[in-house]
Amino acid sequence: MNTKLKRDFIKICSDGYKQGWHERNGGNLSYRMKDEEVKEVKAELNEDSEWKEIGTEVPSLANEYFMVTGSGKYFRNVELDFEDNVCIIKLNEDGTKYKIVYGLVNGGRPTSELPSHLMNLEVIKNRNEDLRVVYHAHPCNVVALSFVLPLDEEIFTREIWEMETECPIVFPKGIGVVPWMVPGGKDIGIKTSEIMKEKDVALWAHHGMFVCGRDFDEAFGLMHTVEKSAEILVKVMSITNEKLNTIRPQDFRDLQEPFNVTLDEKFLYEKSSKKIGEK
């Protein structure tokens, strides 16, 4: 296989690894393929493989094809041996089963987070047909903040937004927060996809982040923007727990017109405390 899609998939895996977001097998990636991308590789697909249970139902994704990282596979190795680490799966006619039609040539299965990926891919497709990428990574700073900021989407979003002017423009719907949960199953997939019905970013407390996008650049850029802001906040908090200066609610409101974004007023509360993480 030698397609642009394969090259782009490899690039985000390598870029994420170089950022330090993918220790060992940490993180996973999925992409809902376009019809023309499936046609391009059709001759290389093996449709005789056996159907397996997804562990959830995603009827809006019935019969579609996805490029997905393998479970236990290292992002670092994707560029070295794509066919060993990545697969293409096809879903059955009611979106309850999948089969591997390409890749994972030395055995294995798609990511253990497949239920979360597919449930997210389903809700974002229903939001906008062009949204095709779901990306999960383990970036240090945002995970660190999940230990010290309240696990409240209003506070989390506001504190991250205040760290970089770009933030409300890049993710105007804010960050949804999933409290610590057992990863790898349907339950965490339900919680995450409830957030992704509206937002492009979900934090998994003490674990990592899920983001979505129309393409790999957008998904990577979103992960990078949130993590960069989280890094600035970690630096600020290592100096002080009170800010002398910051971006204020009216400043955020003033961004809306020139950047054509609408910000939910719930994130723009007047603070009665100067302490980071307090309302």
Catalog residues that contact Zn ion under the rule CB under 5 A: 208
Q: Report if residue 20 touches ligand 13P, rule: CB under 6 A.
A: no
Q: Please, which residue, 95 or 208, has the CB nearer to Zn ion?
A: 208
Q: Tell how far CA 57 is from the center of its chain.
A: 20
Measured from the CB of residue 43, what is the shortest distance to ligand 13P in angstroms?
A: 28
Q: Which does 25 bind (CB under 5 to 8 A by kind): ligand 13P, Zn ion, none?
A: ligand 13P
Active site residue 113: yes
Q: Report if residue 111 touches ligand 13P, rule: CB under 6 A.
A: yes
With b meaning 16 or more CB within 10 Å and e meaning fewer, what string describes 124-134?
Answer: bbeeeeebbbb
Measured from the CB of residue 28, what is the shortest distance to Zn ion in angstroms?
A: 7
List, in sequence order, every beta strand (DSSP E) within 159-276.
Answer: 175-178, 201-204, 208-213
Euclidean distance between CA atoms 16 and 213, whole angstroms: 15
Q: Report if residue 77 touches ligand 13P, rule: CB under 6 A.
A: no
Q: Which does 112 bind (CB under 5 to 8 A by kind): ligand 13P, Zn ion, none?
A: ligand 13P
Q: Please, which residue, 58 or 137, has the CB nearer to ligand 13P?
A: 137
32: nearest Cα among 52, 5, 11, 53:
5
**Angle formed at CA 113 by CA 44 and CA 68, multiple of 5 degrees:** 20
Active-site residue (options: 37, 64, 113, 231): 113
Measured from the CB of residue 262, what is the shortest distance to ligand 13P in angstroms?
A: 32
Cβ contact 212:124 at 8 Å: yes
- Catalytic site residues? 113
